Amino acid sequence: MPRTVILGVIGSDAHVVGITILEQALSAAGFDVVNLGVKTSQADFVDAAQSHDAEAVLVSSLYGHARQDCEGFHDRIADAGLDVCTYVGGNLAVGQDEFEQTRERFREMGFDRVFDAETDPQEAIAALRQDLQLTAREAERARVDS
């Protein structure tokens, strides 16, 4: 069975290129990707994770308002009774914040992993395989079978 991941750009953010590249890389790696596109609300992420029985939710944000847009996100996930792995990535802070501070802030908000804008999609794939305990061979088999 391919493993389902939800992907989208949160809030009012319209930067689409990053998630398009991520979608392609994740699909090629054998994941079943539900791409919600840009300007996705917290509720839409949670609904999609529920209805697709997803194992991971990947949130992208580029325009500098990630913190506000992600406020309360994990409360919604908990309220929905979801057991999903959550990643956030992109250009998460405005200006020149040290990324380690940004990572710490988003980890405190409940995200399992936090990625900066220099992230190669293969890093996210390796992290997902680890967090979902999926070997490269299993992922490849899922891709061939699907």
Answer yes or no: is 91 a known binding residue.
yes
Instruction: Give backbone dihedrals phi and psi of 86, rounded to 5 degrees, phi first.
Output: -120, 130
User: From CA 15, how far away is CA 92, in angstroms rounded?
Assistant: 13
Answer yes or no: is 7 a known binding residue.
no
Q: Could you identify the residue written with the tokens 């308002």?
A: 65
**Known catalytic residue at 53:** no
The residues, ordered by sequence, that sit 6+ positions from 133 with a Cβ below 8 Å of its Cβ are: none
- Of 117 and 136, nearer to ligand B12 (C-beta) is 117
**Known catalytic residue at 15:** yes
Per CB under 6 A, residues contacting ligand B12 are 12-18, 21-22, 58, 60, 62-64, 87-91, 94-95, 115, 117, 119, 121, 124
Cα–Cα distance list, 98 to 90, 102, 117 (Å): 14, 7, 13
- Of 29 and 88, nearer to ligand B12 (C-beta) is 88
Answer yes or no: is 27 a known binding residue.
no
Residues with a known catalytic role:
13, 15
Annotated binding site: 12-16, 60-62, 91-95
